[in-house]
Structures are given as structure tokens and as C-alpha cells.
Amino acid sequence: MPHLLEPYALQDLPLANRVVMAPLTRSRAGANRIPNRLMQEYYSQRASAGLIISEATTISPQANGWIESPGIYTDAMQQGWKPITAAVHARGGKIFLQLWHMGRASHSAFHGGQLPVAPSAVKLAGDSIHTPTGKQPYEVPRSLETAEVALVVADYKAAALRAKEAGFDGVEIHAANGYLVDQFLQSKTNQRTDAYGGDVDRRCRFLCDVVAAVASVWPAHRVGVRLSPNGNFNDMGSPEYREQFLAAAGKLNGFGLAYLHVVDGLAFGFHSLGEPVTLTEARQVFSGPLMGNCGYTLESAEQAIASGACDLVAFGRPFISNPDLVERFANGWPLADAADMATWYAPVGAAGYTDFPSYSAT
């Protein structure tokens, strides 16, 4: 695969290849949310990826909503990430930290009985959420006051600074999959009448404020953004999705970002509100590096890069059971299948996490 496996200059960051390890929430940080040695082993096993994007990492206690996912808002969390970035770098890899706020996709059980926050008081229509006290029904979130929005933006900035101190090569702002930034972007979840809602441009404001804040800590060419224009995960999908997301991509173009990460594939769920937004359309409004994601195979990824549709391709599930995914691609070795989904995103230790052998070991 001459294009996918060739070196690539991501702005000023040299990558060994164009294979990106997508962010995968794996729930191995423990109840204290502090990154640990097991996570160090997991990420170092996969360091042959051109770029690793870490699992979604919460920026504040308010941002939490997933059992045993890591954070980046305390000194201990920051210190916990340092051996991980060092281990990836020791194997020649590069790693960005994905910054996460779950918004309404959380529960009061994570917040001492206080409701999760969101742009508007619109309940997620899912069946239930896993909480520290067991499965619970989703709740109607509390709408953020206008004055509170700046405080959340400040949390993103503080987390970005901690990521820099922890040794990451950059950060990715998680603006996809129905989490807080995506909730601000979409009319389904943003019914505000202040400066952060009401039309396409104002719904982009929170995203742009977050990017500007993070880019005041990092150079913009070390900041990526992830969008999911076609996704229905976390009960998302808005009628004007095409206009909204292409407008957002156009605004992001002015920042000089490291890349725009678009979940263009439909394997993670499609809202079926019209024709999917494509990488070709994103390319028309965003001139920087473009990353495709979701459901790609070796062949389709090579085709996407060879055709110029994107510059990088992120692989998620294949990296779960194939720590040596790049080597398997390079040598034509078959991929292992991670059949037991019960271990994928659950706090069950090494099982289904670091116990997948490389092809040469088998």
C-alpha cells in the first residue's frame, strides 16, 4: 500500500505512515481516573501507528460520565500520562490527547447528585447509561448559563496545558458523537437563544471558542478537531446537518489546524436525514490535512488517500485486537478478530486489552 504506509509530514510533525489509531474508550484507568502502567503497555504496543489519538479524556469533573475513563484535570492525572507518552515516543510513535466533555451523555451519579450540563435541557433518548451505581435512565440535563460557558472553555484550555506538560505531541478536540461540543453544534440539542444558539453561525461559536482557547496554549498546527456529521450515536442528527457541519469545517479552516478528523463512514450509525457528508465535500471548505474514519479497510483506506479524498485514515476496532496493525498491513498478514465485545469498553483489566499477541508472536 504505497500511499497509506508512506511517511507523512503532519504540518511540522513527521509521521512514519498515514495510519492513525482512532480514539477508543477502554475504561482501564480505575476509579480514580489516573492513567496507569496497564495503559502504558497498551499504547506502547500500538506505537507503530503513524499517529495515536488517545482515548477520550475528560477535562474536568463536570465532564465525566463514563466508568473508569481517564482524566487530565489533576496533577496526578497529568503525571500518570507522562510514562505513556514517553513509552510511545521511545518506540518512535506520536500521540495526541483527545479532550472530552460528555455533556448530556452523563448522569447525576457521576456528579454527586447534580445533573449533567448541556447547551439545552434536552434529554438523550437512549435506554440507559452505565453509572457507578449501575444502569440508570438518562436524565434531562441542566442548561448551561451563558456565564458558565466561558468556564467550560477555560477547562478545555487548562486541560490542553496539562496535556502539553504530560508530553503529548498535540491535542484533539472531541466535537463528535453527541458529546458537549457536538451538542452545541446541532439544533436537536441546542435550543439556546443567546450568542451560542439560534442559527448555524452561533451554534459554531462554542466550538470556535474552544479551539481558540486551546490554540492559545498549543500552536494551532498541533490541534486537531473531530466531527461526526453523519452520526446518530447518543441520539444525534439534525435536519440542517449538511449546512451546519460544512459551515463548521469552513470556520475551522481559518485556524490552521493540525488536521480535521471527519467520521465520514456510516458503520457507527447513520441518522438517515439525507445524503451523507463526504470527505470530498469537507475538502472543498477545509484546506488543511483531512482524516477519514469509520469502517475503513486496508484497501478502502489506500484508495481514499491515493484519490486525494483524505491524507490520513483512522482505524479503531482493528487496533483493539491487532497491536501490530501497521506491520500486518505492510506484510499482508491476516487481521485477528476481537470477537468478545464484552471486554472492549469495560473495566476488566488486561483481558481483551493488552493480551492480543502480535502476528509474529503467534
Please state at what angle helix 37-45 crosses helix 75-90, rounded to 10 degrees. 30
* Three-state SS sequence of the chain: CCCCCCCEEECCEEECCCEEECCCCCCCCCCCCCCCHHHHHHHHHCCCCCEEEEEEEECCHHHCCCCCCCECCCHHHHHHHHHHHHHHHHCCCCEEEEEECCCCCCCHHHCCCCCCEECCCCCCCCCCEEECCEEECCCCCEECCHHHHHHHHHHHHHHHHHHHHCCCCEEEEECCCCCHHHHHHCCCCCCCCCCCCCCHHHHCHHHHHHHHHHCCCCCHHHEEEEECCCCCCCCCCCCCHHHHHHHHHHHHHCCCCCEEEECCCCCCCCCCCCCCCCHHHHHHHCCCCEEEECCCCHHHHHHHHHCCCCCEEEECHHHHHCCCHHHHHHHCCCCCCCCCHHHCCCCCCCCCCCCCCCCCCC
CB 94 within 8 A of CB 166: no
pLDDT digits (tens, 9 = 90+) for 239-289: 999 999 999 999 999 999 999 999 999 999 999 999 999 999 999 999 999
For residue 355, name the pLDDT band (cuts at 50, 70, 90).
very high
pLDDT digits (tens, 9 = 90+) for 305-352: 999 999 999 999 999 999 999 999 999 999 998 767 788 888 889 999
pLDDT at 175: 98
pLDDT at 97: 99
pLDDT at 1: 65
**Least confident range of 34-48, 220-234, 314-328, 334-348:** 334-348
- Per the annotation, the verdict on 296 as an active-site residue is no
Q: Which residues of 106-125 are buried (b: 16+ CB within 10 A; e: fewer)?
A: bbbbbeeeebbbbbbebebe
Catalytic residue among 73, 179, 196, 345: 179
Task: Compute the distance between CA of residue 313 and CA of residue 296 in angstroms, rounded to an integer.
Answer: 8
Give φ, ψ of 129 to 5 degrees: -130, 140
Strands 13-15 and 8-10: antiparallel
Which residues neighbour 162 within 8 Å (Cβ) at sequence distance 6 or greater?
72, 73, 77, 78
Exposed/middle/buried for residue 361 (C-beta within 10 Å: 0-12, 13-18, 19+): exposed
Mean pLDDT calculated for residue range 154-175: 98
Count of CA atoms in the C-beta half-sphere (13 A) of 335: 17
Ordered domains of the chain (ranges, CATH): 8-343 (3.20.20.70)
Instruction: Compute the chain's Rg from CA coordinates.
Output: 19
pTM: 0.97
Task: Please say if the pLDDT value at position 362 is more than 80.
Answer: no
Length of the chain measured in residues:
362
